[in-house]
Structures are given as C-alpha cells and as structure tokens.
Amino acid sequence: MSKEETQEIAVTAKDIQATWLDILAQLEKAIVGKTEVCEDLMLALLAGGHVLLEGVPGIAKTWITNQFTATLGCEFKRAQFTPDLLPSDVLGTNIYDQKSGTFKMRRGPIFTNILLADEINRSPPKTQAALLEAMAEKQVSIEGTTYKLDRPFMVIATQNPIEQEGTYPLPEAQVDRFAMKLDLELPSDDEELEIIKLKHFGQGASVDRVTTPNTINRFITFIRTKIYIDEDVLDYIRNIVTKTRADGRLILGGSPRCSIALLDNAKSYAAINGRDYVIPDDIKRVIPRVVPHRLQVKAEAELEGTSGRIIADDIQRTLNVPV
C-alpha cells in the first residue's frame, strides 16, 4: 500500500483540477471527440451520482466507460442486460457449498467501483429495479442481509434510442436515480477519419492510471463539505426546479432529487475548474444534463415538438441569474 493510501493528505480544488486534466489527457489518447462526455462522467462520479448513456450502436459507449475507469484505477465490471437476466445475476446470491455444508455468498457484478449496465432497457422492470437500492443507498440487500458497496460506486447504464422491440422503458423511479442523462452523437467527418486512423495504426488502445479510488473518495468528501455556494445561487437552483413543476406542458416536473443533483454536479464542475465556490455558470453548465430526462412531457406538447430539453432551456432563459 502506498504512502498516499495510508495517510490523509489535504485536498484542494486545484488538486482536483490537476487530476482531472491528467485524466483528460489520457482519455484523449484513446477517445476521439467526446471531451464533454468524459467531463460529464467525471462530474457525476465526483458528485456521487450515476449516468445514463444513450446512443446508437457502435458509438463507443462501452469503450468510453472502460477507458474512463482505467484512468481512475477503479475496478470495472460489466453486466449485459438481457430479457432473461435475473436480479440475482446482478446482485449475487447464496450458493450451497457441499464440502463445508454451508451457504456461501456469490457476489454479482454490482460489487465493484464502476458498473456498466449495458443495454439496461432490454431487461424487465424486476431486474432493472434490482439497481435501485444500490444507486440510492450504495448498498444491496440479498436474502435479508445488507452488504455495503465499495466506494466510489457508480452505475453507468447504456441504452439504444432507436430500437423499441424487445425493450422495457425505464420506469420514472429508475430514471430519476440517474444524476445525468447523456446523449452521445455520431462523430463529425473529421472525427470519423481520426477514429479510422487510430484503428489502422493501432494507436489510442490504452491509457495510464492517473489516480486511485482512495484519492477519488477524498475528492468526493472535499466537494461535499468544502465547496462554498451562496444563498442566491441556492435560490437559483430552487427556482429552476420549482418552475418545472408549474409548467403547463409537463405532467411531472423535477423532484427534490433533481435539485440535489444540480447542486452536487455544479459543485463538482467548480472543483474541476480549480474553484472552491460555485458560480451561476456552473449551474447553467449542468442543467441540460441533469434536468430534461426527469421531466414528463404531455402527449399534446410532444406532438408539437416540445421536449424536456426545450422546456429546461426555456426555464433557464426566463429566470433571473444571480449576480
């Protein structure tokens, strides 16, 4: 065990910024044109949240997650969600050992630092719901026994937006557990060419570890307890979320969990920019990732082309920004 892992070292926002820049430099060796997505993953991790990645097949959702985890030095596991996947396949179960005559715990893939729930909407609601306790409480209950999960713990789930056959839409309770929903777009022409060249020349296939889970945990604690946020900025967060609840185009607006996600991710964004205080621009940066997927738009509004993203943008434009 390294000296870093055996004693507490004071953390500053500048330390977090420097570590993030080192992580980004590594990721840019292996990932083309997804800088904001990588940054969003880092924000969610530091905020103690989870991420839903949506994009067409072949857009590198799994690759991004894998490389991101490698730079952190964290344990990574993947669960392929299929129609026949059972909750016990994700969480684990007790297996009878004939030699000892006792039951032994067989841990599922959820016992890791970062879990990739691949194509989460291909499994039925019962299996999807197996993640709820883990995502909210960082623990799981198996046959009456509660097991704490390792820290940091993060679920990165993926889904395909174009395939509907054989899928099960995520219930609102599940969607609300994701701090962010990120829509991955296809690469530009130049990015596509760079991807082809990287593959052809065999470059960009690996990244170096930059930090450790222990250090990430200290960063999370610093952000949670040491980042300052003014009362006016807190009011701004509240106004954003409460205004969604009064919007006539919505069946359901943001919950208090939405407010907390805005707060936590804005604090993370301040930290990776080397600040120990939040400014309104930090809130604006995370609104499109945190708010829209939590909004349930009325059918008639959807027919007119309205989406959660449009409503979130409208609300942001109409609110007075604190100075």
Per the domain annotation, does 213 fall within a domain? no
pLDDT of residue 273: 97
One domain, residues 293 and 164: no
Per the domain annotation, does 314 fall within a domain? yes
Residue where a domain terminates, one of 201, 219, 244: 201
pLDDT of residue 166: 65
Q: Burial letters for 262-279: b for 16+ Cβ neighbours within 10 Å, e otherwise?
A: bbbbbbbbbbbeebbebb
pLDDT in tens, 79-99: 999 999 999 999 998 887 777
pLDDT of residue 56: 85
Query: Which amino acid, 173?
Result: A
DSSP code of residue 34 = -
Residue where a domain terminates, one of 155, 186, 201: 201
- pTM recorded for the entire structure: 0.89
pLDDT of residue 29: 87
The domain containing residue 40 runs over which residues?
10-201
pLDDT of residue 172: 81
Classified as helix, coil or strand, 255 is coil
Q: What is the rounded distance in angstroms from the CA atom of residue 198 to the CA atom of residue 33? A: 13
Q: What is the CATH number of the domain that holds 22?
A: 3.40.50.300
One domain, residues 52 and 190: yes
pLDDT in tens, 196-251: 887 777 655 678 999 999 999 999 999 999 999 999 999 999 999 999 999 999 99
One domain, residues 190 and 73: yes
One domain, residues 33 and 152: yes
Which residues on neighbouring strands pair with residue 228, listed in sequence order?
A: 277
Per the domain annotation, does 107 fall within a domain? yes
Per the domain annotation, does 83 fall within a domain? yes
One domain, residues 155 and 267: no
Is-contact 1 213, C-beta < 8 A? no
Per the domain annotation, does 207 fall within a domain? no
pLDDT of residue 164: 65
Total count of domains within the chain: 2
Q: Which residues of the chain have pLDDT under 70?
A: 1-9, 163-166, 202-205
Euclidean distance between the first and final Cα of the chain, in Å? 47
One domain, residues 306 and 174: no
Per the domain annotation, does 187 fall within a domain? yes
Per the domain annotation, does 211 fall within a domain? no
Residue where a domain terminates, one of 164, 186, 201: 201
pLDDT of residue 203: 58
- Which tokens sit at 157? 């789930």
Q: What is the CATH number of the domain that holds 300?
A: 1.10.8.80
One domain, residues 166 and 39: yes
Classified as helix, coil or strand, 315 is helix
pLDDT of residue 205: 61
One domain, residues 231 and 274: yes
One domain, residues 249 and 185: no
One domain, residues 20 and 93: yes
Looking only at the bridges linking them, the beta strands covering 114-118 and 76-80 are parallel
One domain, residues 190 and 289: no
Q: What is the rounded distance in angstroms from the CA atom of residue 71 to the CA atom of residue 41? A: 12
Per the domain annotation, does 208 fall within a domain? no
One domain, residues 21 and 161: yes
